[in-house]
Amino acid sequence: MRRNAGLFVVISLLSGFGSSAMSLVAGIWILDLTGSTGLAALAGLCVYAPVLAGPWLGGLLDRAPRRPLVTAVNLMLAAALLALLAVRGPGQTWLIFVVSCAYGVSYVLIDAGETALLPSALSPTELGDVNGWRSSAQEGMKLVAPLAGAGLYAWRGGHAVVVLSAAMPVLVAILYAAVRLHRTPPDQPTQRRGGLRTGLSVLFGQRATGVPVVLAAVSIAMSGFTTAAIYAIVISELRLPTTFLGVLASAQGAGSIIGGLIVGRFIARRGPVAVGIAGTVLFAVGCLARCVPWVPATVIGAVVAGVGLPWTLVAAVTAVQTHTPSALLGRVSATANTAMFGPLVAAIPLGSAAVHLGARPPLLAAVAICLTAVAATLYRPRRVPGRGRPDLPTPADDKNTGVDVIS
């Protein structure tokens, strides 16, 4: 593993640990201070809501040097976290919400910034592998960090978790300084204005990026849509205690770690489009397996879905990095994040409402939606005599995307 690849994996480990620990503790802290589960849940909304502003926030990365900007965002995040040391009682609960919003804004800028920096630090053949390793590192931290954060909170209180979490972005900023940006991808002439419009046109104006992003968006949205249904399957159908949800979360996390470690090889062989399709199908199979009234099938379904979901995400990120002009990578990456994660805002409450129809209908609906998206991806309009086929990729494009043209 090369120096830059190792640095980016360590960066993912540190940032994943700090964010996962603090995101859980913020809700617990608010619950202890106010006694309100509703207010505690709002902390998570504050973290994810800024993703909707991704296209505009990402434009900052195209107007300023990316490494200094991402480094500054990490340092400002550390300073914002330390402001939570002022929380002493219910009267300062608002401060936790403010810092949660700051966390959300930093997520958008840092995620898009890393996506934009990677092509300048790695060769194109390394992008898929490193994106997969980073995904595995982040998923691994989701298994470890919440337990560590909750344990530290129970032992020493919220302020101890704040100090630990604030140290992570400082270390990340130091590691960014050690990254060698030795490669600058060739740029095409690009328009530097028009934030949202430019990001959307570049992202969805070509099949190589639009298809993987749409597949990732569908799969991620369905993961949120089926959350309540999985709860109902465990509690109402299988008659298991709620603690079994932790087993399923660990099983899915294990699948995500495994999937992240191997996805780079498949992207190198078949391309992001083919891997995005495979990941969406695997996620659908995982949802279908959870409909079977048998505990081992539910666990296996969690593992399979855990493999498929990061495949769709890594394929989309790699496609954006590979096929986007460097000058627009910031806004296009942030627009892609909004497209992939924004639908969760609607999917989660819709899934909570749909579960009133039963535990299995939302899961079956998710399977149908995922497979419909895959079928739409594989469809090619036949050539009309006397007309060109501007909508079809060239043979060279097919090699890059890993999907054969159906004629």
58-81 burial, b at 16+ Cβ within 10 Å, e below that, comes to: bbbbbeeebbebbbebbebbbebb
Residue 53 confidence (pLDDT): 82
Distance CA 298, CA 304 (A): 10
- DSSP label at residue 295: H
Long-range CB pairs of 88-95 (<8 Å, 24+ gap) are 89/33, 90/33, 90/34, 93/30, 93/33, 93/34, 93/39
CA of residue 56 relative to chain centroid, distance: 18
Percent of the chain at pLDDT > 70 equals: 88
Mean pLDDT across 163-169: 95
Mean pLDDT across 161-166: 94
Say whether pLDDT at 392 is over 50.
no
Confidence bin at 214 (pLDDT 50/70/90)? very high
Say whether pLDDT at 398 is over 50.
no
Mean pLDDT across 372-394: 63
Closest CA to 219 of 141, 265, 135, 285: 285
Confidence bin at 284 (pLDDT 50/70/90)? very high
Mean pLDDT across 49-74: 82
DSSP for 227-280, written as a single string: HHHHHHIIIIIS---TTHHHHHHHHHHHHHHHHHHHHHHHHHHH-HHHHHHHHH
Whole-model pTM above 0.85?
no
Q: Which residue has the tokens 């990001």?
A: 199
Strand, coil or helix: what is 392? coil
Contact 352, 170 (CB under 8 A): no
Provide the 10 A C-beta neighbour count for residue 394.
10
Closest CA to 162 of 102, 95, 83: 83
